[in-house]
Structure 1
Amino acid sequence: MKINFKFACPLLLAATSALAGGNEEASAHRYISERIAQYGEAVERCEQVTASRSLPDESVIKHLRSYSIEDVRVFLITRSSHVSEVCEKPELTELAYAIAVLEGAGVSGKPKEIVQNIKLLVFGESTWGLKKKYLELPTNVQNILEQTDYFDKPFDDMAILDAIENTKKP
């Protein structure tokens, strides 16, 4: 499950917002904080894309019903996460670069704490868990469903799952 960055980011920054001592620490703090803020804006932008999209056509919903609900669930959740990452990619790449630069520079104090926390939040175990689940999907499910254009932009995976599951009930 994707961590809600929109809520976690302000908490992370607030917890480490005291200006770090020393000029180098202050510069590093500002640098990583700006990248985190830019990434947060990208997350919000992509969430707006998700919120603005309607459900896929009934033909897509019907097609999804032809697969096992577990495969569909894994596909929708992991694909939704993937296309959100693609939407956020420029800012995500900048954040990853900033983390690598600051780790390579051996920053200390509050900037080091921020780097460690944001790294776990954005690039932690749950991110790999989603990617791994997707890779474990049957290849035919991946290939066929990825050909549906609807799944190329951020979408509401839970709303689609609800639509599939609600129509199966008598």
Structure 2
Amino acid sequence: MKRVMIICLLFPGLVLAEGPDFAKRTIDLKLQKYEEKLVACERVESNRYSPGDDALDVLRRYDDDDVRRFLVSKSSISLLNCTMPEIGDASFIVGAVLESRDVSEATKTYAADKQFLLHVSSWGFYEHLNNLPPDMLAELANYHYFDEPFDALKILDELGVF
């Protein structure tokens, strides 16, 4: 936390000391690290298939819409969690540039354009999970399969839920 606060206080000074391209280089570096992490997480996701018969049996006991919401929300959240802290670092730097008074408008435009490359976390995924039946969430919490990135569509296909 101290590191983030120090960077926050020093970032405008670093931009001025290093020149106008420093912010762009920093954004590009952070996005590159995020992209590398995202590729690694997606590789984990694609190499995992089934959570096992026990978990599939639990999923089959619930309404198709609830199963769909659980799998899509949980897979999105697990992918986001897998990309931490890289996505946080990239988001922080982009946000710092956008809020800085010490960078040019061209640099701010560059940062704004790069902002769209970041995987946007939606609180809607958490809301979907919180609105699911509590007994469903309690049962599925026992299966740590859903804590790591997984392909929700493959599981939905295996369950025959469309």
Give the TM interval when normalised to the shorter protein.
0.7 to 0.9
- C-alpha deviations, 1:130-163, integer Å up to 9, x for none? 3332333233322321221111111111000000
Q: Is the aligned partner of 1:39 residue 2:34?
A: yes
Partner of 2:125: 130
Residue pairs, 1:1-170, within 5 angstroms: 24-106=19-101, 107-122=103-118, 124=120, 127-165=122-160
Q: 1:103 to 1:77 in 2, by over 3 A?
A: same
CA–CA distance in structure 2, aligned partners of residues 114 and 78 of structure 1 = 31
TM-score (ref. length: structure 2): 0.77
- Give the share of equivalent positions with the same residue, in percent: 29
Unaligned runs of 5+ in 1: 1-22
Q: 1:129 to 1:120 in 2, by over 3 A?
A: farther
CA–CA distance in structure 2, aligned partners of residues 117 and 131 of structure 1 = 27
**Residues 99, 119 of structure 1: 8 Å contact kept:** yes
TM-score (ref. length: structure 1): 0.74
CA–CA distance in structure 1, aligned partners of residues 152 and 159 of structure 2 = 11
Q: 1:140 to 1:44 in 2, by over 3 A?
A: same
- Structure 1 or 2, whichever has the larger Rg, is 2
- Pick the structure with more helix per residue: 1
